[in-house]
């Protein structure tokens, strides 16, 4: 079996079409013979090498690098820190060539105020899609800023009637908000530059979107950084809820320039919507006993997020405690399902999808977060419903919404604490109380709104400081 065929057949089931599209792009633009008989562990390095050598445009190279980054989320490819660093450097080289075409456009920085904002929010999907909901909540916070007079929102996807209703309900002064679909408006990039001067905001925008670096030439920029991924393009402010020390170590390992690291700001609040249950469900309805200890792991990419290290530590604990039931909630490959049924029997329960996750989480004792990069939304739902969230503080986003003392800093600590939580109901009650209090502050939109005002001020000061614009410095060339 060719290595590309292997990636398609073993990938996260609900992302198979996306993985196939990426493989087709590789096949159309790269030398396929270079990948004959290559081991999976060496595939990322070979792909980076072939993309660099390929006689194709800079934009296509960036597109292929973006595909490789997505395979790290959706398939058996695991990018090392060195791989990520190499991708980062190559992407900036190619993005610099693209951005250089825009240096002659007239700048309006001498007219810069804090009244006009351009917000890039990536793909709008649906209201249960946490980045979509978070983006709308971000726009709401920006609309409440007393200096805001106009917001232009750049997006892909579709604004469905329910999304429009939600946006109209939560966003004040929505007549001052203009939505621009970049897949149908051919002049979106030029308008984002020439209709300014703007303050530019990037919320869940693709890391290699060419607009991120280009806009930094024309106004202050503010960028959310999640997914345990270092930024590849410059912004005056990066923000998220991870500690500064954690970010510095991660970003240095994965190729972020020093000026990027220096621009990071850690916040104790972020736009997050926590859905409430549609109805109440009892353990009896779900087929559990009151004496059962219910563990859950949740993920839209669960099949690639449950690693061997996670399973090797979790399964012995489940088998040791016969009253444990482990709910794996999300799409799984057949080989995982067969393995878990064989090893764990009735202690394993697979739920491919649950439309009312909050009511299900209300019956869970411990949310065992797998060793994954993302996962903050499902963890927040679990905490709000009364479950205790256990996760690693040395890897991934999810635990940034929990008290520092609840974050486990190694695999060994993680599974030791899991056994403690299983055995000690008082500990679970104490953790639940502390996590709910932490989350309450985190999810308060007024808290984030105050933080956002400060981020805008800082971005403007940093933009002024870096005048005149040096495009080579922006791209670390």
DSSP-derived secondary structure for 375-424: -HHHHHHHHHHTPEEEEETTSSSGGGGS-GGGEE-SHHHHHHHHHHHHH-
What's domain 283-442's superfamily in CATH? Glycogen Phosphorylase B; (3.40.50.2000)
pLDDT higher than 70, residue 1 = no
Give the separation between CA 310 and CA 263, rounded to whole angstroms: 33
Q: What's the CA gap between 388 and 247, in Å, rounded?
A: 25
Q: What is the per-residue pLDDT for 170?
A: 84
Q: What is the pLDDT of residue 169?
A: 86
Q: What is the dihedral of CA 111, 115, 119, 125, to 10 degrees?
A: -150
Q: Quick check: do 113-273+446-474 and 283-442 share a fold?
A: yes
Tokens representing residue 303 in the block: 């099949």
Domain ranges of the chain: 3-79, 113-273+446-474, 283-442
How much is the average pLDDT of 203-232?
Answer: 94
> What DSSP state is assigned to residue 366?
E
The CATH number of the structural domain formed by 113-273+446-474 is 3.40.50.2000
Coil, helix or strand for 172? Answer: coil
Q: Tell me the pTM.
A: 0.94
For residues 325 and 76, what is the distance between their CA atoms, to the nearest angstrom? 27
pLDDT digits (tens, 9 = 90+) for 133-154: 999 999 999 999 988 899 999 9
Q: What is the C-alpha separation between 93 and 83, in angstroms, rounded?
A: 16
Q: Mean pLDDT throughout 457-467?
A: 95
What's the mean pLDDT when you consider all of the chain? 93
pLDDT tens by residue, 219-245: 999 999 987 899 999 999 999 999 999
Rounded to whole angstroms, how far apart are CA atoms 408 and 412? 9
Q: What is the pLDDT of residue 113?
A: 80
**pLDDT one-digit tens code per residue, 94-145:** 999 999 988 776 666 666 788 999 999 999 998 878 889 999 999 999 999 9
């Amino acid at each position: 079996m060719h290595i590309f065929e292997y990636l398609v057949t073993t990938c996260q089931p609900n992302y198979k079409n996306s993985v196939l599209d990426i493989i087709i792009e590789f096949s159309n633009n790269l030398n396929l013979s270079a990948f004959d008989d290559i081991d999976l562990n060496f595939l990322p390095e070979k792909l980076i090498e072939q993309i660099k050598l390929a006689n194709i445009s800079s934009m296509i190279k960036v597109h292929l690098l973006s595909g490789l980054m997505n395979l790290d989320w959706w398939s058996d490819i695991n990018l090392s820190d060195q791989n990520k660093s190499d991708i980062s450097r190559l992407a900036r080289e190619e993005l610099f060539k693209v951005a250089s075409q825009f240096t002659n456009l007239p700048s309006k920085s001498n007219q810069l105020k804090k009244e006009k904002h351009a917000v890039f929010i990536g793909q709008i999907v649906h209201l249960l899609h946490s980045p979509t909901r978070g983006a709308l909540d971000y726009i709401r916070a920006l609309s409440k800023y007393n200096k805001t007079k106009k917001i232009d929102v750049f997006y892909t996807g579709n604004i469905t009637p329910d999304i429009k209703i939600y946006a109209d309900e939560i966003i004040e002064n929505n007549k001052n908000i203009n939505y621009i679909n970049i897949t149908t408006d051919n002049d979106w990039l030029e308008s984002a530059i020439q209709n300014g001067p703007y303050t530019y905001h990037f919320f869940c925008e693709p890391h290699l979107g060419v607009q991120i670096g280009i806009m930094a030439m024309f106004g202050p920029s503010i960028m959310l950084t999640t997914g345990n991924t270092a930024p590849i393009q410059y912004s005056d402010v990066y923000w998220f809820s991870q500690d500064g020390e954690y970010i510095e170590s991660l970003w240095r390992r994965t190729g972020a320039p020093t000026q990027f690291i220096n621009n990071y700001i850690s916040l104790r609040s972020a736009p997050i919507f926590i859905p409430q249950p549609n109805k109440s469900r009892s353990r009896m309805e779900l087929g559990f006993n009151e004496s059962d200890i219910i563990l859950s792991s949740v993920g839209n990419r669960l099949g690639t997020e449950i690693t061997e290290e996670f399973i090797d530590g979790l399964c012995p604990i489940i088998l040791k405690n016969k009253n444990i039931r482990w709910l794996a909630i999300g799409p799984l490959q057949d080989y995982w399902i067969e393995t878990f049924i064989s090893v764990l029997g009735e202690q394993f329960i697979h739920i491919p999808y649950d439309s009312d996750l909050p009511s299900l989480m209300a019956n869970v004792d411990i949310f065992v977060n797998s060793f994954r990069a993302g996962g903050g939304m499902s963890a927040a739902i679990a905490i709000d419903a009364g479950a205790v969230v256990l996760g690693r503080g040395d890897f991934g986003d999810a635990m940034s919404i929990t008290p520092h003392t609840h974050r486990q800093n190694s695999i060994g600590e993680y599974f030791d604490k899991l056994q403690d939580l299983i055995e000690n109901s008082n500990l679970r009650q104490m953790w639940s109380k502390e996590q709910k209090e932490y989350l309450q502050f985190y999810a308060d939109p007024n808290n984030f709104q105050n933080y956002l005002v400060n981020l805008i001020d800082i971005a403007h000061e940093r933009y002024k400081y870096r005048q005149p614009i040096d495009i080579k410095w922006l791209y670390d060339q």
